Amino acid sequence: MRHSFILSLCLAGSFALSGCEDFMSEKNKVDRTLQDLNVVDETNLNDVMLTVADPDEAVTYFKRASANAPERIDLQRGLGQSLIRAKRNAEALAVWKKITEHADASDDDRVDLADAQIRTGDWEGAEKTLNSIPPTHETYQRYRLEAMVADSKKQWKKADSFYETAVGLTTRPGGVMNNWGYSKLTRGDYPEAERLFGEAIRQDGKLFTAKNNLVLARAAQRNYSMPVLPMTQIERAQLLHTMGLSAVKQGDVETGKGLLREAIETHPQHFEEAVRSLRALES
């Protein structure tokens, strides 16, 4: 009788343990599932912060997140990218330097460091950083920066080669074509600059910088007719203003005045900047 009682207790205990193990197993599965969901949610939030969120809000988010998990290089990268978006370049430079010292740092991280160095005017530092990256690391961003460094040293053939390579490595070459065109503009090669700016606008019709540069390239050739471009009324007024000032700089003062008057008439609101420019000329 006593033996059967003990056996019953053992059996009950084994069932309890079995039930406990099953419960713990299910709990672990649930915990892992929740953890996976949290990672997915965090990844989505990180992507939002890096793309559509307000840059300063993104900086605050990644600062807090990287402080809570300082070992995570992905959060540090998010902070560095957010600081660049917020135009806080000096702070971004410090972050990217720290990232490149991390055990898991990549060549892409060193490219981003070079970008931050260029944005803070450290061209020599950027060149050293780019030279430290193996030539087998061939990316659009790397060659775009290489071209800019070559431009800064007036190594035109080298710059052209890098720009051409960069264009071939991206499906959205508008920005680099605009940079290349500006390089040609500073060299005095106005027709080629005009061509490149036109290509940049064809690739990205919203790229106002390229539109403005195109007007500068045409005005440098004393061509003051407005190019056929996709533009808003405000953009047209701003481009006329740019062209008017360029005409004055070329010595074509009366033409410049006429363009400034047209800019003032075209703008849907009061165009204070153009008004001041015209008053200065007429006085």
Q: pLDDT digits over 184-202, tens only?
A: 999 999 999 999 999 999 9
pLDDT in tens, 49-79: 888 788 999 999 999 999 999 999 999 999 9
Residue 262: both structure tokens together: 């047209």
Q: Half-sphere exposure (CA, 13 Å, Cβ side) for 21?
A: 6
The residue among 22 and 268 whose pLDDT is bigger is 268
**Mean pLDDT, range 80-90, rounded to an integer:** 96
pLDDT tens column, 219-266: 999 999 999 999 999 999 999 999 999 999 999 999 999 999 999 999
pLDDT higher than threshold 90 for residue 160: yes
Mean pLDDT on 85-93: 97
Instruction: Note the pLDDT of residue 42.
Output: 60
What angle separates helix 107-119 from helix 73-85, to the nearest 10 degrees?
A: 30
Can you tell me the mean pLDDT for 7-26? 48
Q: Output DSSP code: residue 71.
A: T
